[in-house]
Structure formats: C-alpha cells, structure tokens
Amino acid sequence: MMQKFGDKKSIETRVKKLRSEIQRLREAYHIQNDPSVTDDVYDSLTKELKILLEKYPELKDINAPEERVAGKALEKFEKFTHKKRMLSLNDVFGEEELYEWEKRIKKLLPANEKVEYFCEVKFDGLAVSLIYENGIFKRGATRGDGFVGEDITENLKMIHSIPLTLKGKNIPKYLEVRGEALISKKTLENLNKKNKKEGKTLFANTRNVAAGSLRQLDANLVKERKLDFFAYDIALVSEEKVFSKHSEKHHFLAEVGFLVDKNEAFCKTSEEVMSFVKKFEKKRNAFFYGTDGIVISVDSIRLQEVLGVVGKAPRYMCAYKYPAEKATTIVEDIKVNVGRTGVLTPLAFFKPTLVAGSTVSKATLHNMDQIEKLDIKIGDTVVIEKAGDVIPKVVQVLKDMRSGKEKKFLMPIKCPVCNSGVEKREMSSENASVAYYCTNQKCSAKNQRYMEHFVSVFGIYELGPKILHRFRDEGLISGPADIFLLKKEDIETLERFGEKSAVNIVREIEEKKKISLARFIWSLGILHVGEETARDLALHFKTIDKLIQAEKEELERIENVGGEVAKSIFNFFEDKTNIEFVKKLEKNGVVVLKEKNTLEKGKLSGMTFVLTGTLAKMTRPIAKEKILALGGKVAGSVSKATSYVVSGEEAGSKLDKAEKLGVKILTEEEFLKMID
C-alpha cells in the first residue's frame, strides 16, 4: 500500500508535485502548442490542488502557477500589454458545486437583491482580444499571462469571421472585444487526413490547431486552416456606449458583425441554468466545435462590479464543466482477481474519482504486459479514461508526480483464493504476451466465476452472484448443471427466500432450458471462445455432437478461428470431464437447438444493429439473439457501416454518435415491429 497523505510533510510534497506538473502542462498547452495530455487531466490535477489548498490554506503561495493565467508571451511576437487584464474562470463540477457558487455570491450582495444569469457555450480554442478604433480593426493579441500577451494582428486578419470594419450605426470610438479563435471538428478531421497522407504528425485537438496556427509567423497558414472567431464579451468601450447587462453585450456584438453562438440562454434562477446545461449536454457531441462546458455569468453589470475579481478569476462568472472522460487519481493498491478460466487478472484500486459522470474506484490492468508497458506502480498518479459507457481503464502514468515511495507490483506465485500454484503460459505464438493461471481445476473462484458466466449466457437473471454463492453454501448446487434440477421447495425454505422468489427462480430456469447452439457453446467457457467465435462454430457444425467430434485441422479451417483457438477447443473436448458435463446438461433438461444458417436469407440480412440503453420488453441479449436469428449483425459501437441504432431508456453516447453520423435511430416499439 502507498503512504496515506495524513502528515503535513506528505501533503506539502504532494502540493509541490501538483504545482510542478500543472506548470509543466500549462507551458506545453499554452506556449509550446504541444499538449501532452488533455484538458481533462489538467483540470483533474488542478481540482485536487484546489481541494488541498482549501484544507491547508497555509500552503497557498501568491506566486504559485495556479495563481497565474495561461502562459508568458513568446519572444518571436511583439509583446502587447492589455489595458484590462484577461481573466480566467473558476470551474464548477456538477449541480451541487453550481449551487454552492450561487450561495457564495449571494452572501456578498444585499439580501433582497435579484440575481439573474446569462449562459453561453465554453469554446475550446484560444482566447484573444481585438481592438477597434472608430469601427476599424487595429490590433489583436493573445491572452498571454493575462497582463501581457502577443501581438498577432496580421494572423487574426486572416480569420474571415473577424470583421475588419464594424457594420451599423452608433459605433463607439473605442471597442475592445474578447472572444475565442478556434476551428471546427470537421476542419480538424480534414487537416489530420491531409497530415496522415503526407506522413506528418496528427493534431491532438481543435484548440491545439488554433493556438499553433495563430503563433506562426506566416499569416497565410491561418487562412489555409480556416479558423473561426466567436465573440463573447466586451472588455472596454468608450463612454458613448453603455451596457447594463452582459446579455446586451452579446446582442450588440452580433449587430456589429461578430459571430456569437446561438446556444445561449437568459436564466432567472440557477434551476433554469441547470436545465440549459442539461439540454446542451444532449447535443454537445454533435456540436460543430469543441466545448467542455457552459460559461455562467451574473447578467447585471452593476452586480458584476459589486462582486469584483479575486486572484485570477471574476466572482461573477464560472465555467460549468461537463463530466470529464479522463481524470487523474492515485493507485492505492493492485490486487489479483481469479477468472472463470483460472486466469489471474491484476486489478488497480484507486482513490475514488469522478469521471464521465460516475465514481470510479477500480479498473482492470488486464495482464503483466500491460503493467510493464504502462510502468505502473502502487502509489502512482495515473490518468484513467471512461468514455461514455465504456469500462474505465488506466491510460497513462504521470511519472513526474512520483515521490520515490511507489512500489512495484509482482504477480503472486500462489493463487490468492485456493493457495495452489500459479503457472505462467504464453497466450499466442504470434507475440510474447503471457498470462498467469491457477493450476487447481477445482479452485472455488473458478467455479463461482464460471457459474456467473454460465447463467448470464443462458439469461437466467434471477440467479445473481450472491444467490449462486448462497445455493452453493447450502449444498443445493455444486456446478451449473445442478441449476436445472432446482425445485421450488428447495429454495423457499431458505432464510430470506419466500414462495414468490422461489417460484420466480424456478420458472425462469424452466423458460431458459432451450438455448441456441451458439449461446450453448459460449456458455461452456472454452478458453479464447467468446460470443462471435461461438457463433462461427455453430454456423459451421450445426450441432454440438459434430463440434465435439471435430478434428483440430477442421477447426483451424473455420474463418476467424486461428491455431491457438482451435487448439483450445480441441483440448476442451478431449477432456472427458467436459463431455460428461455436456451430457449432464442435456440429461437435466437443457435443449440445444440446431443452428440454422440464417445469415444470407434472413429478413435482416445485410443490416448491422447497435443496441443502447435499457429495453423495456426484452433484454438486450435476447434482442441480439433475435437480430442474429434473422440474419442481421450486432456491433458494439456506432460507425458509418451501422444500419440502425436501437435506443432504449437512458441511452448513452452511442445515440449522440448515431445522430452525428446520420444513422437511423429506432425506438424499441419500431424495432419490435421490424422483427415482427
């Protein structure tokens, strides 16, 4: 286990490490135009530092990197001193933090003061300031450190959405406009296609392209890369023009010729703010530009002046950040899980961390190869990723955050469950990847994991892991085949089980005794045989008896079945124990249906489906089986090759991607009509 951050010295060390890493990332992001990690990682480290400094205010330092805005001006451009400092924004993560922000600002205002808000999209680009004199564009500069930026006037003139002359009447003598220079996601995609074709480095994100382009001495590069500019504020204006609300500034900017994003909202309450935040979140993935949140401002300029600025950020504004798909956390331990095939899988346990809308406390590290590739140690600060509804994974180790007390993980030589020996085996002949296995065929962990896999494939959802464990402890079952002999009277006498639950369990077991050959093969738990391979085997052999009798050479000739998989299948059925298990299942009432080759003649032939969300009238495994039975295919992710996305309740990111790609979306009712 790593050291706990309880003593003052450890906390001071952690704060120093965080500051150092944040500064390094800041320089890479703002100055070198070569971000090594995403905004999510930067935000996660900054948030941890903020929490520590709130708890230990004596560690605050006014000269520390978190008190500065962006980076220093580059030497190759003329320096430009801003008349009014370009500020940064404080972030809020989630509804609770938004309401806390509102409470803080209201405490600083008179008790009966009415506070209203203006919401707008937070673009992922480069903040710049534009100066107009008598309606003519004179100078433009980057944020820099907030006080001094870089004069990039000539480059900004190449952006067509920046008006060189303001339109309309009543143009003020002096106007300083703040906004975001950026490129669209489509432009980034086209640029990366071009770079890939020419063998050049691909751009990491839209912000990187915008920043890199505007810091080039050749202004034509900006024109070639088709940058855009969206205005979001007026920093300074001569006396003849007066604004009373932030929203009025937006409307004026649109009138004089600036692009102002139409996704904005005037909100009377923080509840209305949250409603807008949630509404935009649904269409965020399909939005043309990169964005990670919503900027929320107190709309009244008078109240903004009362609230003022603290440090680098205004009190009257905040940035609501959407759940990050990446975050940083600390590996507190690495333990080993024993799977149904006996393979030992290392599992990382984290300090609980919010990522992509849910709290993550553990993730699989897959195998020793992955641990060595990442060079991950107990005590490391790591980047975890959880995109949409994908299982969380460790994608990077922040080695600069190491204190020297981290510990190397070693695979145990004894099974952590049954204490039997562990055997190291090569996974395939194509590469040097290896896995570690418990050598005990009767290991209780294997048996439990296998039974969980078995009932899942059969679709016996009444038998969860805890119930299976209880039935084994009570002596009702010793293996999967015994499940089909369970009777109502066996179950209802158990403590915390009644007649109703016993009836439900027995009824579902009876209903699931008939199973397709493909799912039956998958249920057997043959090493290297997953759902798709099981289907390939079923289509080829048609019956379980023919598969049992198959020679290794015949197995190798089947499409998508390689030598290692063929060897595993052949060895499985060479073991008499496994043959006896198949016969016992059949004896206990399991009916394996003969496989029909429906791929070419089914009504869904040539169609590919993706399932997302919770279906009300059938489970997703059953829906998948129906599609396959009618000749269709089921994919795990949405692409241009997807024919339909079937959307249930609480559909995730797959729905957003389908909308973006123009893939037809079916409700459950529409899907049921299609499969009749």
**Angle at 626 (CA atoms; ends 487, 532), nearest 5 degrees:** 90
Q: Which tokens go with 453?
A: 């896999």
d(CA 350, CA 366) in angstroms, rounded, equals 16
| Neighbouring C-beta atoms of residue 174, cutoff 10 Å | 16
d(CA 104, CA 97) in angstroms, rounded, equals 11
Please write down the long-range contacts of 220-223, taking CB distance under 8 Å and 24 or more positions apart. Answer: 220/158, 222/155, 222/156, 222/158, 222/159, 223/158
- Reduce the secondary structure of 334-402 to three states and give it as a string: EEEEECCCCEEEEEEEEEEEEECCEEEEEEECCCHHHHHHHCCCECCEEEEECCCCCCCEEEEECHHHC
The answer to whether 635 touches 610, Cβ cutoff 8 Å, is yes
Amino acid at 37: V
- Choose the catalytic residue: 47, 122, 249, 626: 122
User: DSSP alpha helices (H): ranges in 542-652?
Assistant: 544-549, 552-557, 563-574, 576-587, 620-629
Check residue 484 and report its DSSP letter: G
Amino acid at 666: L
The answer to whether 457 touches 522, Cβ cutoff 8 Å, is yes
Helix axes 465-473, 444-458, angle to 10 degrees: 130
Q: Which residue has the tokens 């923080």?
A: 270
d(CA 461, CA 425) in angstroms, rounded, equals 34
Q: Which tokens go with 225?
A: 């890369």
d(CA 49, CA 22) in angstroms, rounded, equals 9
Give the strand pairing for 644-647 and 664-667. parallel
The answer to whether 402 touches 380, Cβ cutoff 8 Å, is yes
Active site residue 122: yes
Please report, for the chain, how many H helices and E strands are present, in that order: 24, 26
Catalytic residue numbers, as ranges: 122
